[in-house]
Chain A
């Protein structure tokens, strides 16, 4: 079977609006429109829109879906209310990560949003571990997804929906209508800003896109490059960079989504054992001179102690930032490591938590 590169339902608009198209995870996607710095600035200060229709969506239905979803994921989805979602991961038996994902609890199913490059792998993995009365459906082709992100998002979007979407809490969702088009609207995102993600039938894709730009003149179309640096500033992991089948959730700093005291789940036994002997941890570091990139080596006293898994220039902080696995105990915040850039060693200051935190002010 020929492996053809797919287009999202918004592809025509990316081209119309001057997006530079690249192949990513089997899709033609815009890497940028007017420039990464401009796009990052729009999301940090105003409002930006991302086509994220390449992401995979999988529905899990059936009477035993509660037990099953808990068995295949590391967080505890049984704590979710309807129209609430959670960040989670799926692991292999050895504790390596299959994928990280978002789980929505909807009235008739669990709705899983997975990484584009992993959709097939995840679907097969879930089917392979299927138990009792569950049905698993890959609905990726039938789902258009947009992420609208930025501090002014509520102001601009409220009023365009049948429901008052300002009432939707972080990591919650609702099904409502936008210009008569039914969609799942959730207060989530991958940028570290306030924002909403919309899921709907792809046949309405261009109508929705055009209507949003008509209603919100300040809306900035943003590409994958801006999305990547925004998520790094917010210190969100990227599968394939910071986590993969060779990393476990504990060393990746994902203990908070790994509920070892819930009922058994795939990977639990291995993770319990690994947890007792963590040799390296994912750490974040900032650089005042130099820009770290994926694959650069990390040193301490001229001894190699790690490797950069994500790196780039933060337009918001105006400095180089990166994530990397660093051998314990050199990973601790406050410490200084040396990043090897070319033949030079430049200092990286290990920090705790996110590089950028949005202002949660009252309004």
Chain B
């Protein structure tokens, strides 16, 4: 069974968000990496890019198919995980830790309430 972790918020499109002050760390869920399987390339928007909620922030290529990753929140990208760019399989092995994708500075804190809590995300499955 795919892991769902405490302390994170989720989206219907299988992203997770970890919020610390005004910074949101974003990745894809364990369920998402299982579905994609064998991730071989990741492309993430550049640091400094301003993103609106729902816009594509990254593309994850698995052997068979590519998936867009959508930003759960609006903000400016402050950090990109270069480790997953050079070793995309980290997303498969460690989706919630080493496999994070990027951090962004939250522009509109009101959007946070639209994210799913762990229990709400769980229910959906």
Contacts and interface: CB of A to CB of B under 8 A. Distances in A.
Contacts, number: 35
Given A32-B37, A35-B38, A36-B37, A313 B63 contact: yes
Contacts of B47: none
Most buried by B among A225, A293, A313: A313
A27 to B, nearest CB: 18
A291 B61 contact: yes
Interface string A13-40: 0000000000000000000100111001
Most buried by A among B37, B38, B59, B64: B64
Contact of A37 (B38, B41, B61, B65): B38
Contact of A228 (B37, B38, B64): B64
A315 interface: yes
Contact of A36 (B41, B59, B64): B64
B66 to A, nearest CB: 6
A342 interface: yes
B64 A229 contact: yes
A315 B61 CA distance: 13
Interface in A24-58: 32, 35-37, 40
B59 A229 contact: no
B57 interface: no
A247 to B, nearest CB: 23
B40 interface: yes
Contact of B37 (A35, A229, A290, A291): A35
Given A228-B64, A229-B64, A312-B63, A291 B38 contact: no
Interface in A56-98: none
Interface residues of A, number: 15
A318 B57 CA distance: 25
Contacts of B37: 32, 35-36
A225 to B, nearest CB: 5
Interface string B60-101: 011111100000000000000000000000000000000000
Interface string A221-235: 000010011000000
A315 B66 CA distance: 15
Contacts of B64: 36, 225, 228-229, 312
B48 to A, nearest CB: 17
Contacts of A225: 63-64
A315 B37 CA distance: 13
Given A32-B37, A37-B38, A291-B41, A229 B63 contact: yes
Nearest to B56: A342
Contacts of A228: 64
Most buried by B among A37, A290, A291: A291
A229 B65 CA distance: 11
Nearest to B92: A35
Nearest to B65: A293
Interface in A148-178: none
Given A225-B63, A291-B41, 16 more contacts: A35-B37, A36-B62, A37-B38, A37-B40, A37-B63, A40-B63, A225-B64, A290-B41, A291-B40, A291-B66, A293-B65, A293-B66, A312-B63, A313-B41, A315-B40, A315-B63
* For the complex of A and B, 6 pairs with smallest distance between CB atoms: A36-B63, A313-B40, A291-B61, A37-B38, A313-B63, A225-B64
Interface of B: 37-38, 40-41, 59, 61-66
8 contacts: A35-B37, A36-B37, A37-B40, A225-B64, A290-B41, A291-B41, A291-B61, A313-B40
